[in-house]
Amino acid sequence: MFPKFTNAAVMTALLSLAAGHADAKQGMYGNVTAKDMYTLLAGNVFVRQLENADKHSAEVMTLQVTLFKKDGTTFQCAAYDGYVDGVTGSAKWKPVIVDDERDRERYPLLEATAIDGSSWALLNYDGSTGDLDAFAVIRGRWKPTATGHIQSDIPAAVYTMCPDFPSAESLGTRVNTKQTSTNYRAMVAQDPGARVLRPDLVSDNIPERY
């Protein structure tokens, strides 16, 4: 059973905005159920470029990598304009279900909780390519915050950006030695990665209306 937020909780939790209705106005709900979200992410790696990274050259580090462990924790490494955003294993992740009582509908979000609080995102997944986009509520509107893909192994670039990142062996996975660039677009050009291709996890039944 996944946690469910009532409409009141949505109002409070999602930046104290009517975020439970921002998606309805924009027709955005994501396309992976809470159950399938766990299946998609657990044990896999979300590789993506940071917001507004497109304007930067291939030489600039614009890469963010998150490994979703099956126990509900994550390891993350990010770099932007040469600034490295450390490694942490303390963040928690889980799928949650928003229960919007006013509009009588339920839809899933990805919840991430770290020392500085929690954040929520809806996911739009392409099961034929492995592409994954994440959206978050910014000033009352769903906005894209990360564009990338899901793959099963860790890019070698992670160990350039974050030398203390746990070894792939200790995490039960492998390193993609061809993915050395610290720029997302350049890295994908080197090698697209072992994409997670699961068209069966894409749902046309979101939101669930009652």
| Cα–Cα distance for residue pair 73/112, rounded to 1 Å | 9
Structural domain boundaries of the chain? 4-200
* Residue 35, pLDDT score: 93
For 8-24, the pLDDT digits (tens) are 333 233 332 333 444 44
* Residue 129, pLDDT score: 97
Concatenate the DSSP letters of all residues of 65-94 into one string: EEEE-TTSBEEEEEEETTEE---BS--EEE
Instruction: Provide CB contacts within 8 A for 1, sequence distance 6+.
Output: none
For 60-116, the pLDDT digits (tens) are 567 889 999 999 999 988 876 666 665 666 688 999 988 888 888 888 999 888 777
What is this structure's pTM?
0.83
pLDDT class of 57 with cuts at 50, 70, 90: low
pLDDT class of 28 with cuts at 50, 70, 90: confident
* Residue 9, pLDDT score: 36
